[in-house]
Amino acid sequence: MDEPVRRLLLALVGAVALTAERADELADALADRGGMSRDEVRRWIDESTTRWRGDALRVGEKAGATLNGVLRELGLVTRDEWDELELRVAQLEHRLRLVETEPQALRSVPTD
């Protein structure tokens, strides 16, 4: 998952976690007014927030997939792809240096 999308999802989950105290206050208020027990209201709030979190994750995943598709159409690469290519180039450069230095080492070996 792309870093900006992951950060957005973490922020959303954090916002939901911070509102847990407010959810308790809301459960008390709705229980007093609605004729439901506090536990019933709290259960309903928990189910709603769980559903919302799942929806938020799915939206984030779809946004990430859409963003990746747009990047591909524009001919751009993701950070992960860039890092992978950078590693491959470094490995090839290392192999090339080994091949270039090998003939010099062979020349210095005395022949019988």
At residue 31 the predicted structure's pLDDT band, cuts being 50, 70 and 90, is confident
Q: pLDDT by residue (tens digit) across 1-18?
A: 567 666 666 666 666 664
Query: Contact at 8 Å (CB) between 5 and 63?
Result: yes
22 pLDDT higher than 90: no
The domain ranges of the chain are 3-76, 78-112
Residue range 55-79: average pLDDT? 83
Write down the pTM of the prediction.
0.38
* Alpha-carbon distances, residue 69 vs 7, 31, 72, 94 (angstroms): 19, 47, 5, 33
* CA 49, chain centre distance (Å): 21
